[in-house]
Every structure is written in structure tokens, then in C-alpha cells.
Amino acid sequence: MEFVFARLIFTLRLDRDCPDPYSLFGIRNFFKDVFRNAVCQRQGQCETCREKDCCSYHHAFSQAISNDRLAVKRHQKPSLPFVFDLAPVPDQPNEGDEVEIGMNLAGSAITYARDYITAVCQLFRQDGPAGTVRGTVIKVESETCSGFRNSIMQNGGTASYDAISTISARDLAETRTLDQNRVRLTVTTPIRLMGDGKPVRDFAFSSFVRALMRRISSLAYYYYGGGLDYDYGWLSSISTSIVISENDFRWTRWDEDRRGEWLSGITGSGTCEGMLVDFHPFLLLGEYFHVGKGSPYGLGRYRIEKNL
């Protein structure tokens, strides 16, 4: 598998107390408009814009379906080419606290990293729209697959976009060795998978990995210029043989009363056992690109535990 992406880390200093620990997840309501206002000259009227083919806003949010009928049949609707890594903010009082926000850019979205950085910096300004979160981005870094960070911007200074590193699926395979038959997963933000038109409340490896394969293959096709050469039918069939031991997955609600259902889903930990080696590339990429509904805005995040 070959697929390239970039990982950015924003350090946000809170300029006032933030009472809601899950406020950062609310940026899904604002980021599109902030991005458009930062880069678009035609207020999102892409249909009549002559510059749309080189516009970062159109690239990010058009989600245009391919003209290739076979590709449309094979891949789900293109997702957004970015993913936020978000976490609850510290308990109050938290004014002055620093919070890290990750952003992963898939394939061709890396070309527009400058615009993504601009939009994120504007998102939390005092006159910005990001709900109850007000803060200043004091640092932007680019992270490699080994965890090393290059400085992109410090304290509002001039950004060094040449310092943005890229990560490939091959890099992950070479630096992360997983057990062929046993992998432990910890879900850190709710995974929302759908089945028969309603949320799936119990974790099953097959439904999880099939959703993950659809997501990764679609991102690769639409933002990296080609599909991934895998026998998805065979992978789907063997996925049903993977069992979950030490199962502590559970349905979690982060959305009491005021957010509808969107901040609820499966969290917790469990160990997957069986013939897993063919799923390793998808599992490794999924740590960065998440799985399920709401993935671009922080949901569906998990990590692969290093020590079992």
C-alpha cells in the first residue's frame, strides 16, 4: 500500500475559561465557514468560479464524485481530506492552559497546508465563531511517523511551510511492528458505525474493519490519485473470523441533552485475535484517519496499544 499524508500539531492557549469539556468537538459547526472566509473569493459559489480547480476550499469541501462508474461503485462518497485529533479540554479553571489539536491532511490536501493553518488559527480568535472556545494558536508543528516534530510557526511569527514533513503507509509499516495474530485497540473518541439505519452499539471487528477499509480506500482514490490494490471481498470474508477477547468496549454518551446523538458511540478497549496481518496497513492508517461518522471532526479515533 502507498498513501502519503501530513500531520500538523497546533498548540492552543485558552484565552478564557472553557466550561464545556467537549467544546472543541463543536468546531464541526464552524470550520467550513471559517475556511471559506479565509481563502474563498466567491463566498463558496464554486459552480461559477473559474479558479475552483486550484482552490483549497473547493478541494476540501466539494466532495465531488468521480466520473468513473466503476470507482463510484467501489468507493464510498469521498470524505473530507482532513481529520482533526481532538480531546476534552482540562477541567476549570482552564484559562491559560495549553491544548494540543492534531490535524492530518490526506494526499493532495498537503498542497494547501498553508490555508488549513490559516483557517485553524482564525477559528479560535476572540472574534471568531468557535462557540465557547477562545484561544490563541501559539505554535504549529509538523510531526513525523516517529513522533519527531518540526517547527512550522512560533508565537504568530512567520511560518516555515518547507518544514512540513510527510508520512507514508510504507513508513508506518517499517516503523510499527504489530503482532500478526493479536492486536489491542483502545477507542478514545466515540466510534459511530451504522447498521440497518441505526447506530451499532456493540463492537465487532468485522463491521469496524470493513468501515475502515472503505474509508481508507476512498481517501486514497480521491486524494492520492488511485485505488489500493486489495481483494476487499476476501478481506471482508476473513474479517468475520477475528474474535474480541478482553472485551471492554461499551456504548458511551458525551452528548447529554444538548447535542442530540452525535457525540455518542463505542469507546473502550479490547484485544482482536485471529489472522490480522493483512489488516495491518488499514489499522495503522486508521490511527490517523479514524473510522465512522464524524471522523473528520475528531470522532472515531483509536490507538493501537504497543504492549499487550
Q: What is the pLDDT of residue 71?
A: 62
Report whether pLDDT(86) > 80: yes
Report yes or no on whether pTM surpasses 0.85.
yes
Q: Is pLDDT of 130 > 60?
A: no
pLDDT for 254: 84
Q: Which residue has the higher pLDDT, 195 or 271?
A: 271
What integer pLDDT is reported at residue 289 of this predicted model?
98
pLDDT at position 293: 93
The per-residue pLDDT of the chain, averaged, comes to: 88
Q: Is the pLDDT of residue 101 over 60?
A: yes
**pLDDT at residue 156, as a whole number:** 73
Supply the pLDDT for residue 4. Answer: 94
Which pLDDT value is given to residue 65?
77
In this structure, whether the domain defined by 178-304 belongs to CATH 3.30.460.80 is answered with no
For the chain, give the percent of residues with pLDDT over 70. Answer: 88
Domain boundaries, the chain: 4-168, 178-304
Among 27-41, 117-131, 183-197, 287-301, where is mean pLDDT lowest?
Answer: 117-131
Q: How much is the average pLDDT of 123-151?
A: 84
107: Cα within 13 Å, side-chain hemisphere: 22
Which residue did the predictor score with more confidence, 49 or 254? 254
Q: Which range in 67-71, 229-233, 241-245 is most confidently predicted, on average pLDDT?
A: 241-245
Q: pLDDT per residue over 147-201, tens digit each?
A: 999 999 988 777 788 889 999 999 998 998 899 999 999 999 999 998 888 889 9
The pLDDT value given to residue 131: 60
For the cut 60, the answer to whether the pLDDT of residue 236 exceeds it is yes
